[in-house]
Structure 1
């Protein structure tokens, strides 16, 4: 332990990661894998629980939050009672306390004080957030986070939907997390920054980011399972971060100090950066460990949403300062289960706004579960490619995106990481090979799609390159990959209608943005 940490009278203050690993093993919270990582299991809740997530409703948030499906109000009276009850609960148990930061920007970072009853949840927090080195939280009020997965809410008493809950209090900067799944910890602070930063003119983003030797930055937007972490973890480029970033005038900066990568079916050949980061100091979550203590990433017995949390310093090629230049390229990663979306499309800024607001993709090995569900596998629209994490109205984020794209002249693309030649579950449809997708990304980063000749796909209203080195030219247009062209046309019309119906719920959208989206021929 260093001089700023101690264990006394049931309080473990600012312990380092090695201390926390040792304690988690001694307390049987985790078990040791043969590669040095420790593995924890979360029980029936192996993903985020949207039905149990709330925001405190008060005079401060009343008009600021986009209340609805993802941002559900919670009565301040019940929150205060639950906060007091949870505080008393933690005071009577051995607890772990750490002082950390969220956001690598020296001006916009937020100091946080985490109080947890579990050593492995504190280990996760120490990996995913930033340990203060030079930032001094003078004039910044700390966010207080209670993490108590073993505490059980009583719905009739606490006004919750189940025994689990996550509640954010924006006014008093408090968060309580009564949940085993560790992803709720990072996503709660992601939501906080997504609420705060737009007021400073900064675009918060659910994206990964990397930069090349040429100092050119690429952003990858997408839901979990679409390839954000895998594609940004490129051994030939430098990783900024794998999930959460802000974009301000002059730079893109990471919110976090670690990565939270899906481990389902990973291999050393397809995912060398992630694979090599799993070692002592890494926390595995819901990964099957066999009788020889070897992790089996193909075994989904525990959960299809298995994860590895590891510090950024475990990645050889990373951006040391956790931020880089504004992006020359933005990639919307769309896992299209219908086989209709092209492997790569080029977007105008209006089309970029349309597809950013739409957020079309699929839930693959979903991070979402509820008390009555496990794996969700379906097409979906998720506004801003992360609707559950954005507390404000969609148009605030869309305007910030258009503004940044316009000022920096960023090129925007859709890359399909889903199916081609047919649809998911069909006899002929196949998931696009990750090696092909990597070659497409490389072509984008090398500027090979700028000023190229394009073909136009009516209905989808998309432009695609006529030629690309990594793809046989006849397969660049997805219709050419289907044997049954009439079936393709039928499925395409059905998908276009889904886009139109989904977009109809958005009000007061500029006509140029609407016209940049799909339409019925």
Structure 2
């Protein structure tokens, strides 16, 4: 009987080791482990638990969301003139950076184990980054492996990183020594092409820090970076979905009738659109097999990371309605866990662009067609609303305006991204739609949240061309163009004013929200053209 010979495993370690990263570890380094190895390590290290069906559950308390007030950008000559300095891009000195980096390297050097993941950020080979993550935890390594594009194993020995992320979640910065605000830090050095993250276990920082980097580098190369999801229809038409957290960006792009390019971060280049990532990071609160079957299915798979969910005992099934740890529960999974994904992560120029908002004031229409000028106005506004009860002291809906639907991740001034989008929309003739996934028939507490089935039907009609011959009316306050008919949607739902019991109350609420838009747009000053200003609500 012939003896089976196991072929030698391909090298997964860089020939230079971690010396280019200034890391001289005392402990063992695990290079480019795949999902089973990472899960074995995470369980061995007691980093979390396995839930029923195999997903890994991690708890990141006390940080269960991003820490935007602890994010800094190093002020250095190469990028200083480009950065829109302020609350979003807080400056930190090169001297403080050098001290913090040395202390992070020393911290990582002293650990018994390190995990390294070499990954690509960007599906377009012409502009992608080769990113090396150096991490102390196996589950965080599994998270970034889910979220970014995984090279073939044969590529790893020759992998040459042009960006490095140092992760030290258990290390606390010293504000006096390091120039930080607290012990938590997310510090970007655009010249050195490196990021330091520490003082927080929340995995989303590992993803969003790289999005911020792409928001800086891509516009310098003539590519628009976008906080949006994207998919492709049966006719090969690409659609983009912009929206802040909770507006339905991930849910609506995961359409069984269309193929998913990605759920969160994309670029629009002269060749078309492309995903930055190789995975998805979906909100998991109240997730159900009936409401979001494709996303729910991923939470029943080995390799998925679930953050801050609560398990039923002893079955270890997930209680998706339980928000005792946080409302911001999350699921991280590779893109190919969605069966109708686009393996290349790339699509054409978008035929349709959808702006999503969850209007808790109950004023905006469930769907409206925008003119090019209105598209620019609502893109710069980036509106959604918090509902009463989500924060202490919030007793009525609160408007949230986030420029370009992602102000906290922008590096350049927002008008740079808006100008690029406007030029691309004009060049490729893309139609823009505003879709309200929020409240109808009254504000939060009186009205009801728009049915997901209605929203899906409206979006589908917009994307497949069913609304092209439909009659539209014009909203007198917001100037938006509302279809009078949408397949599979009751006609009375389409006119928001008609859904209110008291039309005069609607009018007052509409004027109130219009005033908020008008006040917000003032912060851009003369950078907004008169034509775009005129496209806003009249109040």
TM-score normalized with structure 1 length: 0.95
- Secondary structure, counterpart of 1:504 in structure 2: helix
Contact 2:361 2:397 in 1 (8 A): no
Give the count of matched residue pairs: 515
- Secondary structure, counterpart of 2:322 in structure 1: coil
2:378 corresponds to 1:355: yes
2:28 corresponds to 1:10: yes
- Secondary structure, counterpart of 2:40 in structure 1: helix
One of 437, 443, 464 as aligned partner of 1:417: 437
Paired residues for 1:95-110 under 5 Å: 95-110=114-129
- Structure 1 counterpart of 2:134: 115
Contact 2:265 2:275 in 1 (8 A): yes
Contact 2:73 2:92 in 1 (8 A): yes
2:74 corresponds to 1:56: yes
Q: Which range moves more in the overlay, 153-162 or 379-388? A: 153-162
Looking at structure 2, the residues matched to 360 and 404 of structure 1 have their Cα atoms a distance apart, in angstroms, of 22
- Structure 1 counterpart of 2:250: 229
Contact 2:475 2:481 in 1 (8 A): yes
- Structure 1 counterpart of 2:4: none
2:41 corresponds to 1:33: no
Contact 2:117 2:134 in 1 (8 A): yes
- Structure 2 counterpart of 1:333: 356
Looking at structure 2, the residues matched to 135 and 396 of structure 1 have their Cα atoms a distance apart, in angstroms, of 36
One of 343, 351, 367 as aligned partner of 1:344: 367
One of 513, 516, 521 as aligned partner of 2:535: 516
For residues 68-94 of structure 1, the C-alpha deviation after alignment (integer angstroms, 9 at most, x for no partner) is 121111111111100000001101101
Looking at structure 1, the residues matched to 76 and 393 of structure 2 have their Cα atoms a distance apart, in angstroms, of 32
Displacement of 1:340 in angstroms is 0.3
Q: Which has the larger radius of gyration?
A: 2
Displacement of 1:474 in angstroms is 2.7
Q: Go from structure 1 to structure 2 and tell me whether the alpha carbon gap of 1:212 and 1:364 turns closer, same or farther (over 3 Å shift).
A: farther
2:458 corresponds to 1:440: yes
Displacement of 1:250 in angstroms is 2.8
2:192 corresponds to 1:172: yes
Contact 1:304 1:365 in 2 (8 A): no
TM-score normalized with structure 2 length: 0.92
Looking at structure 1, the residues matched to 98 and 170 of structure 2 have their Cα atoms a distance apart, in angstroms, of 20
Looking at structure 2, the residues matched to 216 and 104 of structure 1 have their Cα atoms a distance apart, in angstroms, of 19
Q: Go from structure 1 to structure 2 and tell me whether the alpha carbon gap of 1:80 and 1:308 turns closer, same or farther (over 3 Å shift).
A: same
Looking at structure 1, the residues matched to 227 and 333 of structure 2 have their Cα atoms a distance apart, in angstroms, of 19
Q: Go from structure 1 to structure 2 and tell me whether the alpha carbon gap of 1:377 and 1:304 turns closer, same or farther (over 3 Å shift).
A: farther
Looking at structure 2, the residues matched to 373 and 196 of structure 1 have their Cα atoms a distance apart, in angstroms, of 40
2:309 corresponds to 1:290: no
Q: Go from structure 1 to structure 2 and tell me whether the alpha carbon gap of 1:451 and 1:516 turns closer, same or farther (over 3 Å shift).
A: farther
Q: Go from structure 1 to structure 2 and tell me whether the alpha carbon gap of 1:328 and 1:139 turns closer, same or farther (over 3 Å shift).
A: same
For residues 194-241 of structure 1, the C-alpha deviation after alignment (integer angstroms, 9 at most, x for no partner) is 101112221111000111111011111001111011111111211000
Contact 2:135 2:141 in 1 (8 A): yes
- Structure 1 counterpart of 2:403: 383
Stretches of structure 1 that go unaligned for 5 or more consecutive residues are none
Paired residues for 1:190-201 under 5 Å: 190-201=211-222
Stretches of structure 2 that go unaligned for 5 or more consecutive residues are 1-7, 14-24
Contact 2:366 2:494 in 1 (8 A): yes
- Structure 1 counterpart of 2:146: 127
2:519 corresponds to 1:496: no
Looking at structure 2, the residues matched to 377 and 163 of structure 1 have their Cα atoms a distance apart, in angstroms, of 33
2:298 corresponds to 1:280: no
- Secondary structure, counterpart of 2:385 in structure 1: strand
Looking at structure 2, the residues matched to 446 and 395 of structure 1 have their Cα atoms a distance apart, in angstroms, of 31
- Structure 2 counterpart of 1:269: 290
Alpha-carbon RMSD across the aligned residues, in angstroms, is 2.4
- Structure 1 counterpart of 2:3: none
Contact 2:27 2:109 in 1 (8 A): no
Contact 1:118 1:148 in 2 (8 A): no
Looking at structure 1, the residues matched to 158 and 144 of structure 2 have their Cα atoms a distance apart, in angstroms, of 22
- Secondary structure, counterpart of 1:512 in structure 2: helix
Displacement of 1:486 in angstroms is 1.2
Q: Go from structure 1 to structure 2 and tell me whether the alpha carbon gap of 1:140 and 1:502 turns closer, same or farther (over 3 Å shift).
A: farther
Paired residues for 1:303-314 under 5 Å: 303-314=326-337
Looking at structure 2, the residues matched to 314 and 162 of structure 1 have their Cα atoms a distance apart, in angstroms, of 38
Displacement of 1:141 in angstroms is 5.7
Contact 1:224 1:364 in 2 (8 A): no
Contact 2:27 2:114 in 1 (8 A): no
Contact 2:251 2:292 in 1 (8 A): yes
- Secondary structure, counterpart of 2:523 in structure 1: coil
Q: Go from structure 1 to structure 2 and tell me whether the alpha carbon gap of 1:506 and 1:472 turns closer, same or farther (over 3 Å shift).
A: same
Displacement of 1:2 in angstroms is 4.5
For residues 393-424 of structure 1, the C-alpha deviation after alignment (integer angstroms, 9 at most, x for no partner) is 11110111111111110010000000010001
Displacement of 1:254 in angstroms is 0.2
Looking at structure 2, the residues matched to 262 and 9 of structure 1 have their Cα atoms a distance apart, in angstroms, of 36
For residues 157-209 of structure 1, the C-alpha deviation after alignment (integer angstroms, 9 at most, x for no partner) is 22211111101000100101112100011100001111011122211110001
- Structure 1 counterpart of 2:276: 255
2:223 corresponds to 1:202: yes
Contact 1:420 1:430 in 2 (8 A): yes
